[in-house]
Amino acid sequence: MCYGGPKRSSTLALPPPRPLLVLLALSFGTPAAAAAQPPARERQERQVVLPSNPGEPALEARVAAGVATYLRFDAPIDRAAVEVEGRATRFRVVDPGERTITLEPTVEPGPGEKLVVRVRYKDGASPAGATLLLVSHPTLVDKEVEVVRRPRTLEAMEAALAEKDAELAALRALSGPAGFVFSGRLTLAGVKARPLEHVSDSTQSGLKVAGGEGYRAGLWALVAVRVRNLPGQQPWKPAEARLTLADGTPVKVRSVDMNKAQLSSGEEGFVAVETEAPFWKVDDVLRLELLDKSGSRHLSIPKVKL
């Protein structure tokens, strides 16, 4: 005897698709969306003119992260005095040169943000120096900015020339015989001159004394010595002079000059040493010492009368 039960279907029912699986299927079935890239910035080269007065707006230079911007100046700048806001934290490169500054930020200024750059000129013609503001721009970046100072007006140049002419006239008046009279350095007492005795052919430190003269007036005294730098020696230049009396009393030296920038090997020149007003007697003997900057090559002349 057979018992019949409910008849089962031969087709297996599938569960409805899950939403996550559908999303994955759609994702793999289409190309990946490209990441949005910022538009490439156009690199520009510009020339800007510094403001002539503090009331004018400061100059701006457009910078971008990872892009080098060169600031070029029309005169040498003081490299040690360059100031860049955020230099230690916002820039990969800050490199001041003789006339340039190379800037490469790692973090560029945000919208509305301005980083200050201050520069001083070596010639001092523009005491306020130059100030620039670093900003960012969505489509532009400055590859090079040439910074020039505003040309001086004709009136300003004429005034500066007149000032220099006056200074030159004053120097000429003081440098010649008239200047000696005006300053009181030449009076009715006159100037007594005498040759230096027993100093020729003295050789020390590769230097030779070839003669000299002494001069004495009321407010000053001067000794002029001919010095020869012997062949094969390094260049020599006096940096200091000392004068002392026989008892060790020092004489104040006002200046040490030479008629040449330095004495090359085998070259001869005049060294002039000026002193304060003479307080010693005419026949007193003084010792003159000439020293170079290193102090390793000195020349001692023991019998000088002024």
Residue 187 lies in a domain: no
Question: CATH number of the domain that 217 lies in?
Answer: 2.60.40.770
Domain range enclosing 60: 44-148
Same structural domain, 199 and 295 = yes
Q: What is the pLDDT of residue 153?
A: 63
Angstrom distance (rounded) from CA 291 to CA 300: 9
Mean pLDDT of 174-192: 75
26-64 per-position pLDDT tens digit: 444 444 444 445 567 899 999 998 887 777 888 999 999
If you average pLDDT over every residue of the chain, what do you get?
Answer: 82
Residue 37 lies in a domain: no
Q: CB–CB of 85/162 below 8 Å? A: no
Same structural domain, 118 and 215 = no
Highest mean predicted confidence (pLDDT) among 6-20, 35-49, 168-182 = 35-49
Residue 31 lies in a domain: no
pLDDT band at 129 (very low <50, low <70, confident <90, very high): confident
Q: Cβ neighbours of residue 36 under 8 Å, at least 6 residues apart?
A: none
Q: State what percent of residues in the chain have pLDDT above 90.
A: 49
Mean pLDDT of 73-84: 92
Residue 1 lies in a domain: no
Q: Which of 114, 148, 182 is the last residue of a domain?
A: 148
Same structural domain, 49 and 135 = yes
pLDDT band at 286 (very low <50, low <70, confident <90, very high): very high
Q: Is the confidence at residue 243, as pLDDT, over 90?
A: yes
